[in-house]
Amino acid sequence: SIAILLYLARKFKTPDHWYPSDLQKRARVDEYLSWQHVNIRGKGSKLFLTKVLLPLLTGQPLPPEKVEGVTEELNVVLKQFEEKFLQDKPFIAGSEISLADLVALVELMQPVGAGYDLFEERPKLAEWRRRVEEAVGKQLFQEAHEGILNAKNL
């Protein structure tokens, strides 16, 4: 949860870039962390549920029009994310990775795990993903997402 991440960042005095002491940068992180619950998390999880979990539980895929509607909802918030939060910056809060970037990418990996490559036609988003992966380490990133990326194989 966001509350636990913030608690851990404070308790263990993580490097400043994760949860910046600069008030403007921290406000950007807080703004994203508040926005993402019903936007990126809500729409990304809904696509994962629609494409992976519900078919697994029911034994049948959902109608294509249902999946298309859910995909379009996600596309709307992805556009908002790029325009409002990424803009032309390397990371959400500026030039360094923060908890906001980490949370954002983790949430975006759910639709990817459902077989929807949301980075494919979004070069700005793909470049941001590459920077986040490099910042945390590609091996650690792959290890952390192994389960969700293999979920469609259930």
Token reading at 19 = 């949860």
As a whole number, mean pLDDT of residues 1-13 equals 94
pLDDT at 134: 98
The string of pLDDT tens digits covering residues 73-112 is 999 999 999 999 999 999 999 999 999 999 999 999 999 9
Instruction: Note if the pTM is more than 0.85.
Output: yes
Percent of the chain with pLDDT strictly greater than 70: 99
Is residue 128 domain-resident? yes
List, as one string, the DSSP characters of the chain: -HHHHHHHHHHTT--TTTS-SSHHHHHHHHHHHHHTIIIIIHHHHHHHIIIIIHHHHHSSPPPHHHHHHHHHHHHHHHHHIIIIIITTSSBTTBSS--HHHHHHHHHHHHHHHTT--TTTT-HHHHHHHHHHHHHH-HHHHHHHHHHHHTGGG-
pLDDT tier for residue 72 given thresholds of 50, 70 and 90: very high
In a domain? residue 14: no
In a domain, residue 2? The reply is: no
Instruction: Supply the CATH number for residue 74's domain.
Output: 1.20.1050.10
Containing structural domain, residue 76: 28-150
Contact in structure between 9 and 19 (CB atoms under 8 Å): yes
Over pLDDT 90: what percentage of the chain? 92
With cut-offs at 50, 70 and 90, classify the pLDDT of residue 154: low
Overall number of domains in the chain? 1
In order of 21, 22, 125, 145, the CA distances from 18 in angstroms are 9, 11, 20, 20
- Tell me whether residue 76 is in a domain: yes
Q: What is the pLDDT of residues 18-29, one digit of tens each?
A: 999 999 999 999
Asked if residue 20 belongs to a domain, the reply is no
For residue 65, is pLDDT > 70?
Answer: yes
Does any domain span residue 146?
yes
Assigned domain for 16 exists: no
Task: Give the pLDDT mean for 34-41.
Answer: 96
Asked if residue 1 is part of any domain, the answer here is: no
